[in-house]
Amino acid sequence: MDNDQAFRPTLRTASGEKRGLDTTVFLIGGALAYFMLNAVLLGLVSSTAEWDHAEQLLLGQVWQLGYNSQPPLYTWIVKALFLLTGPSLAVLLALKALLLTLLVAAVALIGRELKLSPAQQWIAVLGLALIPQIVWEDQRNFTHTVLAVTVAAWTLFQLLRLRRAPSIGHYLLLGLLLGLGALSKYNYGLFAAGLGLAALSLPAFRAVLWSARALLTLGLAGALLLPHLVWVGGHLSKAQVGFQKLEMGAGLGFAGLSELGAGILASLGALLLLAMLVVRPQHIRQHILQRIRQRDTEPGVALLLRGWIAMLLLALLMILTTGARDFQEHWLQPLTFFVPLLLACWAEPGAGRGFQVFRSIALVVLLGVSIALPGQALLANPERPSRLNLPYAELAAQIRAEIGAPEVIVAPSDPLAGNLRLHFPDARVLSQRNPFAAPEQASQWLIVSEQPLQPDSRFMRWLTAELGLNRLAPSRQVSAPLHWMPDQAHRLYWTLGDPEARRP
């Protein structure tokens, strides 16, 4: 068999459809077990919520069309779950595990849609383990990003399925996913735009999208997004915070190009290096230069490659026209999650020695992550303990023993405020960043900080200026040993506000 034929990306399973289905089911089931195990391990070592989870504990108190610089879908899901369970870290960890499992499921099903062999499906799924932002950061902390990349994966799957079966239901489902993606995280828009341009450049997909039925897709997506856009129009200062992090300004953004390149390298460097075990570099070049425009090329594979190129070009255009910089690596996840799929399409279909080494390394990485996640608390540097080491549960219990359950709690930061909500589930909890409206008739206000409550501190000035709390009881403090570091203690400073003395 010549090299060109051996590395065609349109490869069917050697042992038939059943073996491919068994591989898909096994990969999805294994992912669910893996992510749930890690969620349980995190819950066992600490009752403290990380930053993004704590933010959701705080935001999940109210229904709003928007909250801050992130779209609201993740918070809506959290709010709905909390209506059933109450504020719960276990629910947040389980939700994260389920979303990551759905990401793996989408990648595995895309592999089946592209008729990849079992070995190639393994490469596509385990390739995710070699993207640090997905295998580590998504499990450790992120929320909106996880939802966005998961919806992006299902959007890609649905577009591939739409080409095969262009029914009205499939057009509507694509519109639903586009709307949900836009409500997940704003960088999903870059993914959707790049994917759309790539699809329109391919005759097989252009015939599907250039249809009156596509108006159903756009209409449903727009209807889902419109209420949030109305909110954005009335709250630009909040909604623009995320874009301000990009430091957009006038002039060409050459500085941002290097940061984009560094982000892509950090995300894909390990994957591309290890892909050499299963993909010969000369064949990647051969396919890019010789096969992408051939009529017998699988349209789905061409969509992956052209989609990635289109998304990259759109990102470059945004940088050059706006001067954007300071890219965070996790923002690139909707642009990187399907690279393992593309590499799998170019990989040898058999389970050769290179595949065995690739799979072994990826499995070792997964094992290392399972150890490192609880290790954040168990093995933390005593000089720099992690947030998981902070004993918020014990500190909250001490405060509750003295004053009971307050009606309103105010804290300077989202992580502290969110963690306090775990232990005072019936209180309305506010932070400086998210000062939700407090009940008018609240009789007891608890003010809590991780720093001494000095009268001239920024937090205390904010309490007076924004909440009208100008009469506070003398400050008190509680302390408790850090989790897994009994020789060190963490303190909270607290006082009670007099609601009768609030400045109108």
Beta bridge partners of 448: 494
Instruction: Give the residue, 319 or 56, on which the prediction is more confident.
Output: 56
Identify the pLDDT of residue 5.
41
308-341 pLDDT, tens per residue? 999 999 988 888 887 666 667 778 899 999 999 9
Average pLDDT of the residues of the chain = 89
pLDDT above 90: residue 32:
yes
Q: Which two tokens stand for residue 443?
A: 């009789």
Identify the pLDDT of residue 42.
97
Percentage of the chain lying above the pLDDT 90 cut: 72
pLDDT above 50: residue 11:
no
What is the CB neighbour count within 10 angstroms for residue 353?
9
Residues with Cβ < 8 Å from 221, sequence gap 6 or more? 175, 176, 178, 179, 182
pLDDT band at residue 285 under the 50/70/90 scheme: low
Distance, in Å, from the CA atom of 115 to the CA atom of 19, rounded to the nearest integer, reads: 12
- What is the mean pLDDT of the segment spanning 426-444? 86
Contact call for residues 157 and 199 (beta carbons, < 8 A): no
Instruction: Give the residue, 65 or 254, on which the prediction is more confident.
Output: 65
Among candidate residues 88, 100, 163, 87, the one with its CA nearest the CA of residue 129: 100
Instruction: Write the Ramachandran bin of 319: left for phi over 0, alpha for psi from -120 to 50, otherwise beta.
Output: alpha
pLDDT band at residue 427 under the 50/70/90 scheme: very high
pLDDT band at residue 367 under the 50/70/90 scheme: very high
Instruction: Give the residue, 455 or 170, on which the prediction is more confident.
Output: 170
75-103 pLDDT, tens per residue? 999 999 999 999 999 999 999 999 999 99
Identify the pLDDT of residue 10.
43
349-361 pLDDT, tens per residue? 887 899 999 999 9
Identify the pLDDT of residue 237.
78
